[in-house]
Structure 1
Amino acid sequence: MMTRVICDDADARQAIKDDLDTTLVVEAAAGTGKTTELVNRILRVLATGRAKMIEIVAVTFTEKAAGELKLRLRAALEHARATADGDERPRLELALATLEEARVNTIHGFCAELLRERPVEASVDPLFVVLTEPEADRLYTRAFRAWLQEALTDPPEGVRRALRRSSFGGDADGPIDRLRNAGRMLAEWRDFPRSWTRPAFDRGATIDRLVQALHQLADLTSRASSDRDNLFVDTDGVRRLSRQIQLEQSVGPPAPGSGEPRHSSAASRTSPNGRTDLDGWEARLIDLTRDRGFSRTRKGSGYKFAKDVTRTEVLVARDALFADLQQFRKDDFADLLVRARDLIRDDAHVRRHLRQKFARIFVDEFQDTDPIQAEILELLADDVPGKLFIVGDPKQAIYRFRGTDVGTYWDVRDRLEACGGRVLHLTTSYRSVPEIQHFVNAAFAHEMTGNRSTLQADYVPLAQSRPATAGQPAVVALPVPKPYGRGGGPLRPSAKAIEDSLPDAVGAFIEWLVDAKNGWTIEGRPIQPKHIAILFRRFVSFGDDVTRPYINAIEARGIPHLLVGGKAFHGREEVETVRAALAAIEWPDDELSVFAALKGSLFAIDDEHLLEFRHRFGTFHPFRIPKELGGNSGEELALTGEPAAHLVPIAEALRLLQQLHRARNYRPVAETIGRLLAQTRAHVGFMLRPAGEQALANVLHVAELARQYEAVGGISFRGFIDELRDGSSMEAAEAPILEEGSDGVRLMTVHKAKGLEFPVVILADLTCRMSRAEASRYLDASERLCAMKIGGWAPHELHEHEDVEVRRDEAEGVRLAYVAATRARDLLVVPALGDEPWDGGWLNPLNRALYPPIATRRTATRGPKCPPFKSKDSVLLRPNDEVAGLSTVCPGRHTFADAGGYSVVWWDPTALRLGAEAPFGVRREDLIVKDVPKHVIADGRTRYDAWQLARHDARARGASASVSVQTVNEWVATVDSVQDRQEGQESVSIAN
């Protein structure tokens, strides 16, 4: 039966504490204290004796959240025990004493515990361990290579055609990498085993038809009245491909050096049996759709294109061919959770035992639960009233790429309602000040309308709890100072210009914020860098690090920062330096690696000396150091010219590489890296750089990766280098350099920030699209189907549902913007364009609440604690001396009456210190001054030697065991041995 939905916040919170025998689904908006309410419910269940701690299961989304939940539960138990009386007090005392018996874990951790308890029934090794990511990568790579070697002996159709496709644009993966990634994606979604359909498709006939259309268009465009005509230039790829196919049909493939272009990395040719090479033609036809000129053909000008050929005729033929090619691309196709689910679902005895064992199940962040996880929890709950308590917010469902979506949440909620459950809404938010809440309500009330087709959530307005703060703005629009390119033509914002200008504005605004004399505060204290978070939709765009310009702008102003989960670790210069040096150690015969190591930051030898060394001695080999430079090379390296004393540093560097090479397989990899860093004094070298903390942390993280490599079974120095090289083609997080609570601006993605809050939130990367133009996956949990694009191909099911999947991705983009905006407590800063909104960006949902009506855009008042804005224009520079128009927002405070009323301060770009230059050189030059008195140097050296000696002694003491640990059997054997020796000594004494 359907039960009522409780929307009153106070009634909902009371029901959570009192209605303990009813299954509850709590939809908690951002900042409403859902974790607190979950803890309150657990306390009441324990206090009333409905469950013991060992019978409690609490599932969270991350390990960090699980640890925090356990700490909060302990604090709540201690507080409740002190005030409890009657039967509740001993129950709470027992619960506190047995807190560690509760199952407070992630869903993956919980499933691992279940499998370890029932290894026989689950058919798993009782001592199984969960693979770490590096272990899983190595295992998969080994299996893939073995499969590929076998597959290449007689490649099946899919492999054969995949290998013929070439890479384009930002796709840096070659054919082998595409196959490897496709296999990995299939493995990750192996719990959705339903096969994809493949409709009948006559590939040969289709290619013949396309080739004929290709020849027709090539013929039409071959007789242009001018070879500079735009339409003629853009269809050049069509004519080249047509000419090459005609040559192959007549005399075979063009010979090397014939001048005929090749559109594929593998030369297209007729097969040995004389048949047409359909794979090659197919690959080049697909490549033609990616040709920039053909895909965006310009029309040119004039009615006539050539003699007896109209321009319209050519364009119609071009459009028809392009449409056919696009359709050709579409029609042509290219274990913990599973085991735990199968164990519970398929074994009735185990299922009955677990249902009796776990009396209450609490689930946090349920909107981020995938179908298998939901199935496991429902199987354990068994429709017992009050046994299951779930908390979630469909407005914050932003993990579709992990297989979760609002549809799964709705399905479970509807089933629980049908079995007598109740749905509660928590709306009072304790996080943001009222003006931010009103701004968010005004922005998203029209965007989230509860659409079951697009899986968009219903919007529930935030209700205020904190008092209003009238002393300073709560919402600031930060205009991009220079949003236009330099070209002529219509005034249009440029994505590149925005990406070049916005980071500088963000850095300048942060500089203004943290300046105490400006008077902006957080709870009465001046704003500090640690109060600020910059949130991104993405970290990488077409291989480029999106965060780097923002970091440069912050560093240029001397503001500390922390990049949380950045993906550019392997691309950092200091990491590449260490990787090059390790390659030189492993392969001393590889002169290029040795040269890279010598030139890199560790040795920093200049080009002039490297050139001279190579010219005079002929080699950079670490084992062929010339005798005159202290080497032991037995070869006659005739030396001429001046003495080579100035080249001694190169010889010393080569000698170090030689020593490290000799011992590399006799000591841990991390120790070799440590010696390399110590001998080159890399620690101080990296620290003296601008932002040296991050550089040094990244270098030390390489050593930590080496420890992890050996801890999980890595056995060779070369194997670690191979792993580093493989990692260089993937994204990896940079090493953290600041602990929580320490000073520094945080830079993180919205996904990383989910569940967190910050006093000041600045949204960045305005030009990032809200969603992809093409869907990458179609998921049908009820049919156990996951149709996804792999290796450049998309299955039939994905194409059938592509339109709705694109709309669902857009709906998630709206939710992502909601999550980002609701992280702010006191100040929300939104980037914007002064003349008009940027269309299609991920912050588009905020524009409705950010931009004032056209009629009032040119009038504004001064915001509280804001500097006097001298300009009436929120754009600093336009091309062609254009001026502000009626649609340009005037800097200042703009008031809105929507959603309870709020105001937005549009900042004046002229009030910021733009264009700050990044510092060059090193920091603390006073530490490396050459002209220092000798007694200062001697004193410093004495202190350093004393520190080294104390460090060595401390390490020696730490390496010796302070407590002897023995098993009982070992202890008994020791006692027996002592007794035997004593008895022997007594026998000797008696004999004497």
Structure 2
Amino acid sequence: MAERLKLTPAQQAAGIDRAGESLALRSGAGCGKTFVLARRFTELLLMGGAKNLDEALSRFVALTFTDKAALEMSQRVRAMMRDFAARATGQDKRRLQGWIERLGEARISTIHSFCASLLRGLAIEAGLDPAFAVCGDTFVTDKLLAEAAELAVLWAVEAGDEAVAALLGAMSLESFSREVRDLTSLRDAVNFDDYDDPQITIERWAKAMERLRGLAQQRLGGDAQLREKLTELESFICTNDGDKLLPIRDDVLDIARQIISQPLADSAELFDELAKQKPGTKGSGKSWGDKDTAKAVRHCIKDLCGALGEYAVFAGLLNEHDQTAARTLATLCRLAGQTNERYAAEKKSRGIVDFTDLMTCARDVLAENPALRARLGEGIDQLLIDEAQDTDPTQLSMLLGLLDSRSGGGLTDGQSGGKLFLVGDAKQSIYRFRGARLEVFQQLCDRLGPGRQIDLDISFRTLGPGLAFVNYVFSQLLGDDYSPVRSSRTELPAGSSVEILLANGPEDRPVESAQAADIAQAEMTAQRISQMVSRSEKRVWDAETEQFRPVRYGDIAILFARMTNSLVYERELQKRDIPYYVVSGTGFFRQQEIFDCLNALRVIDNPRDDLALVGLLRSAMFGLDDNALLHIASHVPKPWLPNMDEARLGELARLMKPGQAEALQLARDMLQKLSAEKDALGCDKLLERVLAETSYEAVLLSQYHGRRMVGNVRLLLSQARQSAGQMSLAEFVEQMDEQILNESRYEQAPAAGEGDDAVQLITIHKAKGLEYPVAFVPDLNAGQQPIKAATLHRLDMGLVTKIRPGSLADDDESNDDD
């Protein structure tokens, strides 16, 4: 059947010509990978459906990362089938119409949905309640896991565990329990028993370090960029032998040459010396030619030291601190194993599983039953995995285990043809914090071999200059591993397609701090947006008129790595009356409307909580002013709510402004009544009553961004409904308090309608797969976030943990750095 759309050669090969082979498809953004996935799925049906019409839809499994992506793929497949059916005749037409009617049976879903479906039929074999429920509420599962970790620690202390007692001497119970909890969350990737023996752990680390050191030595020997920095630093000429910057420059050059010329294992002292070289503000412009040159020398020294510093970790050998770390890890792993047992028992008693359980249970039941695995694998003719760069090792090992062993686990082709189709892009790997490992995807591509890798490298989305910029940046970062992307578009707007805005700040407010840099960038971003729209700059391509049209607010997105500073940008947009829509505003638990609702629940739970009562009465929910609160404090003994009788209310009414006494009466009556009924009502019903009796949502709607405030309140209510029956009111409030203290990343509700003509503020994670004609990417000066976790899981070393030398070691006088 002829294609209506002209495919690129790569799309043709991946989606049609080589649909029966195992392939890895590496696709840049906007290169049509969803189209290829849908087309390949359709082609597989057309290739095999005539032989096995009844079960054809079930023999191909397509797995995506999100429900939205699964829905989009299903819709694409349906549209393609309708297109084919419209041009088909006879038996082909009937066959296609039959598939269209039964497309809901197609196995197109998320990985988690696939595993849940698999386990429904294998619940007994997996040791699960056949009626198990998947608990998607992370508040509930996080709380259960945290409680299990704390109990494991407390039981160890009560049992006289000296190793645990020693660790608790170096950190608080809360911090220690959190470390155990975080380690337990790695249970899908780690066998905790493997770390029982500290000496075996040390040997494992030493072997891994030796291998990594060898790789680093090879990389150092061929590091062309490092040598360019070295040559650049050598090229600067100083005319004054007494200049204070000169000996630093010469020492750095000498140390760098020695490090490059000798084994890394012998360079520990050299790296220590390199770390001491601090140019600061040394060096005069007169000695180096001018101020800018002296500044360039200082920057070049820092760049060279930074580039060399990346190799420093490979110079050190394992020492007594690593022995202490191995012992610490053994203790943590033992507690993590116990925590996991408690956590599993609690989930079992509730008949629930979490998302990690879906993966591990499916993996384990398949690994333990070869015959079952073979039978299930025989029912899959091909497995298509989207966003493979963001899958984790557990997911991939489980999925590959399903494939027929006769086809090499799907990585080579047997007589029955290819079994595996991977789709991914290294540049778009953004979920490492969720356990995704890009290395696993790259290793699978390597195992398939270069002949079974196809690059979709023609973008239908981005203009040529934009892609040229992206290609330059990523080629510097990824080197030979980067595959450049070309644009299929030939149209170009007037002016530059890529702009770099340097926010130096006004003369009266120079950028001298991170906060000042945030404000300066926000000001410049808002100013440029205002200019684009007010000047009617023609930068957006109109496919209907085939011309560039003026930019509208709704064309623009501000893409954040983190939404930490989004409020700074909101303020600057507000100053210029620029409408905006916050797609992924964080700080949900630090919004005033959330404080107000939680204060109401706190007082209902504990009427003696005067601090929460004051916050609630002062809020927009009741609107008492400071004078009213002062009168309450002066005339009502603590605790205020239980002692606020009719006589005292009458006395306060004579002192307060009109309307405030009535608000206080409403608050007193409502809070006392709900407090008496709290045990009969869930936290969700209590919050519903509070909102209904105070008309709080109506009050919020009258304020600026009231729609977002109401949205936040309803998100909190949704959270309360999910927790109802799982938590008491006190437990729910406690959980919310913990989220506030931890500055949870839970997202706010949007400030405007998604369809409004408004600038969108969104995280890069949320923007994945979306398209914006104009995108601003701020905070490029921000450094990488430091890793806060004490224990990490590395594919190349296994579990590693960091300690502060001296805090846990036998020698209490040690003053070494981390």
Same fold? TM cut 0.5: yes
d(CA) in 1 for partners of 2:681 and 2:184?
39
Task: Name 1:697's counterpart in structure 2.
Answer: 711
> Which residue is 2:561 aligned to?
537
Match in the other structure for 1:527: 551
1:273-352 residue pairs with structure 2 within 5 A? 332-333=324-325, 334=328, 335-352=357-374
**How far apart are 1:727 and its partner, in Å?**
2.5
Counterpart selection for 1:389 from 421, 438, 457: 421
* Alignment CA distance shift 1:141-1:406 (3 Å): closer
Contact 2:635 2:648 in 1 (8 A): no
Partner of 2:211: none
1:90 match: 94
Deviations 1:132-191 (A, max 9, x none): 21221232133234323322324534432333335xxxxxxx541442243233333443
Match of residue 717 from structure 1: 729
Does 2:760 align with 1:746? yes
Q: What whole-Å deviation, never above 9, does each CA across 1:27-78 have from its counterpart, x for those lacking one?
A: 1122100110111111111122257112120011112211221122212221
In structure 1, the residue corresponding to 2:449 is in which secondary structure?
Answer: helix
Matched letter for residue 468 of structure 1:
E
In structure 2, the partner of 1:379 is 401
Q: Which residue of 1 aligns with 2:125?
A: 121
Structure 1 partner of 2:21: 22
What is the rounded CA distance, in whole Å, between the counterparts of 1:621 and 1:655 in structure 2? 13
**2:479 counterpart of 1:424:** no
2:132 and 2:806 map into 1 onto residues whose CA distance is 36
**C-alpha distance in structure 2 between counterparts of 1:175 and 1:366, whole Å:** 39
Q: How many Å separate the matches in 1 of 2:807 and 2:741?
A: 24
Q: Is the 8 A contact 1:178 1:791 kept in 2?
A: no
1:402 aligns with 2:434: yes
Change (3 A) 1:479 1:486: closer
Paired position in structure 2 for 1:448? 478
Q: Does 1:460 align with 2:495?
A: no
- Choose between structure 1 and 2: higher helix proportion: 2
* Aligned-partner Cα distance in 2 for 1:640–1:89: 82
In structure 2, the residue matched to 1:143 is 148
Letter in 1 for 2:734: D
Shift in alpha-carbon separation, 1:519–1:696, aligned structure 2, 3 A: same
Alignment of 1:769-788 (within 5 A): 769-770=783-784, 772=786, 779=793, 781=795, 785-788=798-801
Q: TM-score, normalised by structure 1?
A: 0.59
Give, in whole Å, the separation in 1 of the partners of 2:506 and 2:368.
60
Q: Residue 127 of structure 1: SS of its match in structure 2?
A: coil
| Counterpart code for 1:109 | S
CA distance in 1, matches of 2:364, 2:201: 37
Shift of 1:387: 2.2
- Aligned partner of 1:411 in structure 2 is 443
Displacement of 1:399: 2.7
2:165 is the alignment partner of 1:160: yes
Q: Which residue is equivalent to 1:817?
A: none
Correspondence for 1:648: 661
State the AA in 1 paired with 2:453: V
Which residue identity is paired with 2:732? F
Residues 124, 612 of structure 1: alpha-carbon distance in 2 compared, 3 angstrom cutoff:
closer
- Secondary structure of the corresponding residue to residue 189 of structure 2: coil
Q: Hey, what's the Cα distance between the residues in 1 that align with 2:648 and 2:680?
A: 28
1:364 corresponds to: 386
Report % sequence identity: 29
Can you give the 5+ residue segments of structure 2 that lack an aligned partner in the other structure? Answer: 1-6, 203-277, 282-314, 329-356, 408-413, 543-547, 810-818
Post-superposition offset of 1:769: 0.9
- Superposed CA deviations along residues 625-654 of structure 1, whole A, max 9, x for unmatched, are 3434666xxxxxxx6996667562434432
Secondary structure of residue in 2 paired with 1:755: coil
Aligned residues of 1:574 and 1:698 also touching (Cα < 8 A): yes
Tell me the amino acid that sits aligned with residue 350 of structure 1: L
Pair 15,105 (structure 1): closer, same or farther in 2 beyond 3 Å: closer
Aligned to 1:551, the other structure's residue is in SS state: helix
Verify the 8 A CA contact 1:27 1:391 in the aligned structure 2. yes
2:110 is the counterpart of 1:106: yes
Instruction: Report whether the alignment pairs 1:469 with 2:492.
Output: yes
Cα separation, partners in 2 of 1:786 and 1:531, compared to 1, 3 Å: farther
Letter in 2 for 1:387: K
For residues 722 and 641 of structure 1, the distance between their equivalents in structure 2, rounded to whole angstroms, comes to 34
- Equivalence for 2:232: none
The farther-off stretch of 394-403 and 432-441 is 394-403
Q: Does 1:437 align with 2:467?
A: yes
* Correspondence list, 1:232-247, <5 A: none
Q: Structure 2 CA distance, aligned partners of 1:645 and 1:497? A: 42
Aligned to 2:738: 726
Task: Give distance in 2, aligned partners of 1:432 and 1:792.
Answer: 51
CA contact (8 A) 2:149 2:180 kept: no
- Residue-by-residue CA offset, 1:771-800 (whole Å, 9 max, x unaligned): 6489977655488x343559999999xxxx
Aligned positions, number:
639
Any idea what SS the aligned residue of 1:337 has? helix
Structure 1 residues 757 and 18: CA distance shift in structure 2, 3 A: same
- Residues in 2 aligned to 1:774 and 1:617: alpha-carbon distance in whole angstroms: 47
Task: Give, as a single letter, the amino acid of the residue that structure 1 aligns with 2:45.
Answer: L
What is the aligned partner in structure 1 of residue 331 from structure 2?
A: none
User: Considering only aligned residues, what root-mean-square deviation do their CA atoms show, in Å?
Assistant: 3.7
CA distance in 1 between partners of 2:174 and 2:576 (Å): 45
Evaluate the alpha carbon distance shift between residue 773 and residue 532 of structure 1 in structure 2; reply closer, same or farther with a 3 A threshold: same
Q: Is the 8 A contact 2:494 2:538 kept in 1?
A: no
Q: Counterpart of 2:61? A: 57
| Structure-1 residue corresponding to 2:182 | 184
Deviations 1:344-380 (A, max 9, x none): 2231211121112112211111122222222223222
- Distance in 1 separating the partners of 2:807 and 2:445: 32
Q: Does the C-alpha gap of structure 1 residues 472 and 201 become closer, same or farther in structure 2, counting only changes over 3 Å?
A: closer
For 1:310, the equivalent position in structure 2 comes to: none
From the superposition, tell whether residues 795 and 35 of structure 1 become closer, same or farther in structure 2 (CA, over 3 Å): farther
Kept after mapping to 1: 8 A contact 2:24/2:454: yes
Q: Alpha carbons of 1:158 and 1:767: their partners in 2 closer, same or farther (altered >3 Å)?
A: farther
Q: Return the TM-score normalized by structure 2.
A: 0.71
| Partner Cα distance (1:115, 1:201) in 2 | 35
What displacement does 1:758 show?
1.4
- 2:307 corresponds to which residue? none
| Pairwise CA distance, 1:430 | 0.3
Give the secondary-structure state (helix, strand or coil) at the position aligned to 2:24: strand
Q: Which is further off, 787-796 or 428-437?
A: 787-796
AA partner of residue 395 (structure 1): K
Q: In structure 2, the residue corresponding to 1:390 is in which secondary structure?
A: strand
Q: Distance in 1 between matches of 2:761 and 2:322?
A: 39
Question: How far did 1:525 drift?
Answer: 4.5
Distance 1:161 1:340 in 2: 38
Shift of 1:707: 1.3
Structure 1 unaligned runs (5+)?
1-7, 167-173, 203-295, 300-322, 451-457, 540-544, 632-638, 797-992
- State the Cα distance separating 1:427 from its structure 2 match: 0.9
Higher Rg = 1
Structure 1: distance between partners of 2:788 and 2:146: 29
1:25 aligned counterpart, secondary structure: strand
